[in-house]
Structure 1
Amino acid sequence: MSLLEDLKMYVRFTAGLRGYLKHQMTLEEAQRIVRDRMEHREENFLRLLRRGVYGYARSPYLGLLRHAGCELADVERMVRTQGLETTLRSLRQAGVYVSFDEFKGRAPLERNGQLLATTAQDFDNPSLARHFYAETGGSTGKASRIVHDLDHYAATAPHHMLTWAAHGVLDAPMAVWRGILPDGSGINNVLRPARFGHLPEQWFSPIPWWDSRRSLKYSAATCYLIILARLMGTPIPWSRYVPLQRADIVASWVATTVKAQGKCFLAVTVSRALRVALAAEQAGLNLSGAVFKIAGEPPTPAKVRAIERSGVRCYPDYGMSEAGRIGMGCVHPRDCTDVHLLKDAFALMTYPQVVPGHETTVPAFNLTTLLPTTPKIMLNVVSDDYGIVEERRCGCALETFGFTTHLRQIFSSSKLTGEGVTLVGSEMVGIIEETLPARFGGSPLDYQWLEEEDEHGFTRLYIVISPRVTIADEHAAIETVLEALSRSSNGANAARMIWKQAGTLKVRRDEPVWTARGKLMPLHLQRYAANATSER
C-alpha cells in the first residue's frame, strides 16, 4: 500500500470506530439478529450474488457462472424452487467452484481449457469500507492481505456473544494471548467483544512491538488503534509481550483471577493453551473454573487431554483468515473438535477431492459466504479443509438458533500448522526444493517437510534431510529456513518469530517418505502415512 492509501485507511478507521464502539449490543439483540438472518438466509445469498458477483464486472465468478449457462435469474429460480444447498451442489457439478490455490491467486482459473488469470484481491467484497488490513502466513512473498471491516466485526459479534453465553462466560474476566498486527487474531479477539461491552483485562502477545522488522507500520497501526479507542472511552489494554517460554505468566493470571472471581476466560491458540496448562501443572496451580477458547490449529485429543488436566474447560472454534469464524464450539460435543456451523453466515457442503500425490479421497469443504459484510466473496470455494459434517440435535443453546449442522475432525490436506501459525504447503515448496539445496547441496529429492505431534502434544515441523547430504551443523538448516521466512512477507515473518520461540522446527536425518504411487511430496502429513512407503 502507498502512503496515501495508508492515510486514507486511517481516516476510514477513525470515522468508523466511534460508531462501532458507541453501540453496545445486548444479548436479546444478538439473538434477534441471528434468527432474522436464518429466516432470510436464501434472500441474503441472492442479494450478495446480485451485488458482489453479477453487479461486479471484475468478479472471477462471473465467467464460471456464464460458462455454466447461469444468469442471475436462473440462480434465483433454482434457489426458490430447489433451496440454497441443492442449488450450490448443482452449481458445483456444473463447474462453478474455486480451488484453494485459485482463491489464493496462486493459480489461474482453468475450466474446459479456458484460463482466467486472477489475484487474491479479485475475490474481495467490493462493498467493504476496508478499515484496516492484516496478513495470512506466506513464505514466498505471496501472503494474502486480508481486509478487516468494522461493519463485518459488528455483523459477526452476535456469534461470539451467543457462544459465550452458551458456555457461561459472558460475565467472566477475560484475557487474550494472541499477536499484534500483522497477525489479525489479536485485534479480532479485542474488538469483537467490545461490541457487546466486554473488554479483555490483559492482552498478552507473543510478538513484541520492537521485533517486527519490516512491519513497523503494523506496530504503529496497533498502537494507533489502542490510543484511539481509549480516547473514545473504550479502555482497550496495551498488549504485553509474553514469549512462549513464559506461559507461566499467563497461567498465574488465570489462577489468580479464578481464585478471586471464581471464573475467567482466555482466548488462545491450541498450543499456547497447552503451554499454559503445563506451566500451571509445573507450578502446582489449579485452573478449575477457567474456560479457554482454543483456535488456530486442530485441537487433537492429546492436546485437549493435557489442557483439561489443569482443570480448564475448553471449546474450539473453526475459521479461516479470509472468512472469519465458520463454526463455534458445541456445549455438548461428540468429541473435542465439535463445532456448530454458523448457518446464518455460511453454506457448506463436502465434495470428493483427491489429495495430491496420494491415493486418498477426502470430503473437502466447499464454502459459500452469505453475509453482505463478508471480507471475501466465496461461492463454492474449496477451503483445503475436510472433515465430518453431520446433522444432529445436541441440546445446547446454539442449536436453538437453527445451528444443527456440526463439523468435527477437521484437517487440512496441504497446510503446515504449528503453534497456531499456518503456512500453506504449496508456499513452503520453494524452501525445500530451492533454498535448502542451494545452501547445502543435494536435490529436491533429498528434502521434505514432515508434520508430527511430539510426546507432549506439541506439533513439530521436521525438515527431513537425506543422510546423503553433508551438513556440518544441522541447526544451520533451521536458521536457513527462518531466514528465508524473514525475507518474505510480514505474515511469514510473524510465523518465524513464533516458531523460533517455540522451537517448532526440527531436523530429522532420514530418507524422505515416498507415496505408494512412487511420488515424493514436498509436504508429508502423518495422517496419510498409511498410504506411504519409504525408500531406505
Structure 2
Amino acid sequence: MRLLSRDDLTVGMRFLAALPRFLRTPLSIGEMRAIVRDRFARREARFLARLAEACGLPGSPYARLMDHAGCTVEDVAASVRRDGVEGALATLYAAGVHLAGDEFKGRRPVVRGSLAFTVDPATLVNPRSVVHGLSESSGSRGARTPVPIDLAFVRDHAVNTHLALEAHGGRGWTHAHHGFPGGTSVTNPLEFAKGGRPPARWFTPIDIGSPELSPRYRWGVRAMRIGSLIAGVPLPGPTLATFDDPSPVVRWMADERARGRTPHLWGYASTAVLICQAAREAGVDISGARFTMGGEPTTPARRAVVEAAGAVALPRMGTTETDILTFACAHPQAADDMHFLDDRHALIQPGSGRGTTGVPDDAMLLTSLLDTAPLLLVNVCMGDRATLLRRDCGCGLARDGWGLHLHDVRSFEKLTAGGITFLDVDVIRVLEEVLPLRFGGRPADWQLVERHDGDRARPEVVLVVDPSVGALDEHAVADAFLEAIGGGTGGERLMELQWREARMLRVVRESPRRTASGKILHLHLDKQGRVPVSDGEAD
C-alpha cells in the first residue's frame, strides 16, 4: 500500500490551514472589475517586474539568453516605453530570447549560436509561490511537469472566471465540475466559491477509493471537504460518472432544468460530447445546459454535437503551467472564438517567415504578468498555434478590456510513421467529419494512434474505432481513411501510396486512448504500445 510522503503531509496541512480563510472572503463583481482595471493600468510595470524576477532566478535560462543577446532589463524597459509590452517581446524573440516547448521542458538543449545549455524546469518556478498543492501537465506532449498550486493564484484566476460568467449571463447558473482528482478539480471549485457561487456537484470518471490512485489525491479530496466545512462553505464530494456511463451528469442536468435552473458543467470537450450524446440516446432533454469545455480543441464537429442537444458550448483554452488563457466570446465568429486574457499573460507570435525549430510562424508565445503565476514564463511556446484577431465584438468580455480574439487553436504536435509526417490539424477533418459521416459514430469515437509494432520491429499507425460505432468492414474503413487523408496529388497522395505499400495502417476496435488526465487527442503517440494510467489532471 502506498503511503503519503512527508512532503505530501506538509503541503496538505498547509492547504487545510489556509482554505477556511480563502473561502470566507469571497469577492464581489465590483471588486473583481477593479482588480482587472488595475492589472491593465499597471501592465507595463508588471511585465518589467516579472522579467526582472525571471532573470534573477538561480540558473535562469532567460538571463543566459538575454546576456547572449547583449540585452539588459533596462534595454527592455526602453523598448516597452517605445513599442509596448508586445513590441518589446517581439524584439526579444528576434534576439533569440524565447523557449520552444521541448527546450522549456528540458528535453532538448537550448542552442543560440555559440550558446548551448539545457533548461531545468525547476528554475522557472515562481519563488513567491506558496505551495498549497501540486498539479501536473498531462504528459500528452511528453514528460509531466509539476506545477505548484497557490491559493493566491487561484484567487487571481477566480476574478477572470466570474467576469467571464457575468459576460455570458451565468452568475446565477448552477455549477458542476467533471474531472480527475487534483489539478482543476481543486482549483475550479475554489474559483467558483471565491465568487460566492460554490459548485453543487463534482463528477469524477474514476473511483476515488481505487487502490491505483495515489493516496495524496484521496487525502486531498478529504482535506478540501473538511476545510470547506470548517469555513461554512461546503464543497461537494465526488460522484462517479465514468466516460462509458455519464448518466449521473445527464440526470443532474435534467433535474436542474426541472427546478428552473441552468446547469453549467466545466470539463473536457470530449466529455461534453459524450454527455450530450448520452442525453440524446436516453431521450433526456438538457437543452439550455452550458458546457465550459477545454483540454482539447472545440472543433466545429464537437460544437455541433453539443448544440444538437440544445446545449451551449463555451470553449476555453489553458495549460497546467498557466491555468486558463482564454474564455469563450459571447458573440462568436468561429467554433472556438475566444478572448485572450491579456491582463494575466502577454501573447505574441513569430510572424510570417520568422518561425524557428519548435516554434512555427503562428505559434503562441506566452509571458507571465501576474506576481502569483506558478511559473515565470518569458516568450515560452507550449506547443499551440492559433489565429489572432483584434475586434470589438461588443460582448461583456470586450467591455471589460479583453479585445484580443483567438480561434482555430490547435496543437502543432506531429505524427511521423513510415517516413511521413503530418500535423493533427490535417487529420481532424477526416476523424471528425469524413469517417463519422460515412460510417457513423461521434467525433470522440475515432482516433489515430502511433505505436511500435513489436512483431515487425517498426512503427505502425492504428486507426482506433470505438466498438459503439457498430459493425464495420475494417478494410473499407482503412481505405476510406487513406483516400481522405491522401486526397491530393502531391505529398498527401505520396503518403497514401507509401502507407498502402508498407501496410502501415491497421484498424482496431477499442475505446479511443485517453491521456493520463482523460483527454482524447486526435493523435495519440503511444510508443510503448500501452495506455497511460491516470494519476492526476492537467488543464
In the superposition, the TM-score normalised over structure 2's length comes to 0.79
Asked whether the equivalents of residues 317 and 325 of structure 2 are also in contact (C-alpha less than 8 Å), the reply is: yes
CA distance in 2, matches of 1:369, 1:466: 38
Which residue in the other structure is 2:449 paired with?
463
Q: Aligned in 2, Cα 1:304/1:447: closer, same or farther, shift over 3 Å?
A: closer
Asked whether the equivalents of residues 106 and 121 of structure 2 are also in contact (C-alpha less than 8 Å), the reply is: yes
How far off is 1:276 after superposition? 1.2
The amino acid that maps onto 2:170 is: V
CA distance in 1, matches of 2:396, 2:166: 9
Which residue in the other structure is 2:376 paired with?
377
CA distance in 2, matches of 1:137, 1:355: 25
Asked whether the equivalents of residues 201 and 237 of structure 1 are also in contact (C-alpha less than 8 Å), the reply is: yes
CA distance in 1, matches of 2:45, 2:246: 47
Q: Aligned in 2, Cα 1:502/1:31: closer, same or farther, shift over 3 Å?
A: farther
Alignment of 1:55-454 (within 5 A): 55-138=56-139, 142-181=143-182, 184-211=183-210, 213=212, 215-352=214-351, 362-414=361-413, 452-453=431-432
| CA offsets 1:415-472 (integer angstroms, 9 cap, x no match) | 7xxxxxxxxx7xxx9xx9xxxxxxxxxxx8799998633511116333357999579x
How far off is 1:249 after superposition? 2.0
CA distance in 1, matches of 2:493, 2:175: 44
SS of the aligned residue for 2:86 comes to helix
CA distance in 1, matches of 2:494, 2:387: 23
Which residue in the other structure is 2:19 paired with?
17
CA distance in 1, matches of 2:491, 2:308: 30
Asked whether the equivalents of residues 204 and 240 of structure 1 are also in contact (C-alpha less than 8 Å), the reply is: yes
CA distance in 2, matches of 1:526, 1:12: 57
Q: Aligned in 2, Cα 1:355/1:297: closer, same or farther, shift over 3 Å?
A: farther
Which residue in the other structure is 2:41 paired with?
39
How far off is 1:355 after superposition? 9.3
The amino acid that maps onto 2:181 is: I
CA distance in 2, matches of 1:188, 1:341: 20
Q: Aligned in 2, Cα 1:96/1:257: closer, same or farther, shift over 3 Å?
A: same
The amino acid that maps onto 1:319 is: G
CA distance in 2, matches of 1:115, 1:133: 30
CA distance in 1, matches of 2:24, 2:453: 62
Q: Aligned in 2, Cα 1:120/1:289: closer, same or farther, shift over 3 Å?
A: same
Asked whether the equivalents of residues 103 and 123 of structure 1 are also in contact (C-alpha less than 8 Å), the reply is: no
How far off is 1:525 after superposition? 13
Q: Aligned in 2, Cα 1:295/1:332: closer, same or farther, shift over 3 Å?
A: same
How far off is 1:48 after superposition? 1.4
The amino acid that maps onto 1:136 is: S
Asked whether the equivalents of residues 447 and 463 of structure 1 are also in contact (C-alpha less than 8 Å), the reply is: no
Q: Aligned in 2, Cα 1:162/1:530: closer, same or farther, shift over 3 Å?
A: farther
Asked whether the equivalents of residues 204 and 241 of structure 1 are also in contact (C-alpha less than 8 Å), the reply is: yes
Which residue in the other structure is 1:489 paired with?
none
Asked whether the equivalents of residues 389 and 405 of structure 1 are also in contact (C-alpha less than 8 Å), the reply is: yes
The amino acid that maps onto 2:448 is: Y
Asked whether the equivalents of residues 263 and 290 of structure 1 are also in contact (C-alpha less than 8 Å), the reply is: yes
Q: Aligned in 2, Cα 1:145/1:502: closer, same or farther, shift over 3 Å?
A: farther
Which residue in the other structure is 1:492 paired with?
none
Asked whether the equivalents of residues 354 and 361 of structure 1 are also in contact (C-alpha less than 8 Å), the reply is: yes
How far off is 1:57 after superposition? 2.7
Asked whether the equivalents of residues 169 and 264 of structure 1 are also in contact (C-alpha less than 8 Å), the reply is: no
Asked whether the equivalents of residues 57 and 124 of structure 2 are also in contact (C-alpha less than 8 Å), the reply is: no
CA distance in 2, matches of 1:48, 1:11: 29
Per mean C-alpha deviation after superposition, the further-off stretch among 229-238 and 390-399 is: 229-238
The amino acid that maps onto 2:172 is: D
Size of the aligned set, in residue pairs, is 472
SS of the aligned residue for 2:362 comes to strand
Q: Aligned in 2, Cα 1:464/1:39: closer, same or farther, shift over 3 Å?
A: closer
Asked whether the equivalents of residues 152 and 372 of structure 2 are also in contact (C-alpha less than 8 Å), the reply is: yes
Q: Name structure 1 gaps, 5 residues minimum.
A: 416-424, 433-443, 482-498, 515-523
CA distance in 2, matches of 1:232, 1:197: 13
| CA offsets 1:453-502 (integer angstroms, 9 cap, x no match) | 3511116333357999579xx9xx99xx9xxxxxxxxxxxxxxxxx9999
Per mean C-alpha deviation after superposition, the further-off stretch among 313-322 and 451-460 is: 451-460
How far off is 1:15 after superposition? 3.1
Which residue in the other structure is 1:30 paired with?
32
Asked whether the equivalents of residues 20 and 230 of structure 2 are also in contact (C-alpha less than 8 Å), the reply is: no
CA distance in 2, matches of 1:73, 1:525: 53
CA distance in 2, matches of 1:185, 1:10: 16
| CA offsets 1:11-62 (integer angstroms, 9 cap, x no match) | 3223322331121100111111111101111011111122x22332332111
Identity of aligned residues (%): 29
Q: Aligned in 2, Cα 1:5/1:389: closer, same or farther, shift over 3 Å?
A: same
RMSD of aligned alpha carbons = 3.7
Per mean C-alpha deviation after superposition, the further-off stretch among 72-81 and 390-399 is: 72-81
Asked whether the equivalents of residues 46 and 370 of structure 2 are also in contact (C-alpha less than 8 Å), the reply is: yes
Which residue, 38, 47, 50 being the options, matches 1:48?
Answer: 50
How far off is 1:83 after superposition? 1.2
SS of the aligned residue for 2:99 comes to coil
Asked whether the equivalents of residues 21 and 195 of structure 1 are also in contact (C-alpha less than 8 Å), the reply is: yes
SS of the aligned residue for 2:290 comes to strand
| CA offsets 1:309-360 (integer angstroms, 9 cap, x no match) | 1111121111111001111100001112011011111111111576989xx9
CA distance in 2, matches of 1:93, 1:185: 35
How far off is 1:532 after superposition? 6.2
CA distance in 2, matches of 1:364, 1:6: 36
Q: Name structure 2 gaps, 5 residues minimum.
A: 437-441, 502-539
CA distance in 2, matches of 1:404, 1:110: 35
Per mean C-alpha deviation after superposition, the further-off stretch among 267-276 and 208-217 is: 208-217
Q: Aligned in 2, Cα 1:529/1:192: closer, same or farther, shift over 3 Å?
A: farther
CA distance in 2, matches of 1:373, 1:309: 40
CA distance in 2, matches of 1:448, 1:459: 21
How far off is 1:72 after superposition? 1.9
Asked whether the equivalents of residues 137 and 319 of structure 2 are also in contact (C-alpha less than 8 Å), the reply is: no
Q: Aligned in 2, Cα 1:106/1:71: closer, same or farther, shift over 3 Å?
A: same
SS of the aligned residue for 2:259 comes to helix
Asked whether the equivalents of residues 367 and 381 of structure 1 are also in contact (C-alpha less than 8 Å), the reply is: yes
Asked whether the equivalents of residues 269 and 296 of structure 2 are also in contact (C-alpha less than 8 Å), the reply is: yes
CA distance in 1, matches of 2:410, 2:215: 34
Asked whether the equivalents of residues 108 and 117 of structure 1 are also in contact (C-alpha less than 8 Å), the reply is: yes
SS of the aligned residue for 1:340 comes to strand
Asked whether the equivalents of residues 355 and 413 of structure 1 are also in contact (C-alpha less than 8 Å), the reply is: no
How far off is 1:362 after superposition? 4.5
The amino acid that maps onto 1:407 is: L
How far off is 1:378 after superposition? 0.9
Asked whether the equivalents of residues 54 and 124 of structure 2 are also in contact (C-alpha less than 8 Å), the reply is: no
Is 1:533 aligned to 2:492, yes or no?
A: no
How far off is 1:63 after superposition? 0.4
Which residue in the other structure is 2:519 paired with?
none
Q: Aligned in 2, Cα 1:157/1:465: closer, same or farther, shift over 3 Å?
A: closer
SS of the aligned residue for 1:240 comes to strand
Asked whether the equivalents of residues 54 and 377 of structure 2 are also in contact (C-alpha less than 8 Å), the reply is: no
SS of the aligned residue for 1:218 comes to helix
Q: Aligned in 2, Cα 1:372/1:139: closer, same or farther, shift over 3 Å?
A: closer
The amino acid that maps onto 1:60 is: P
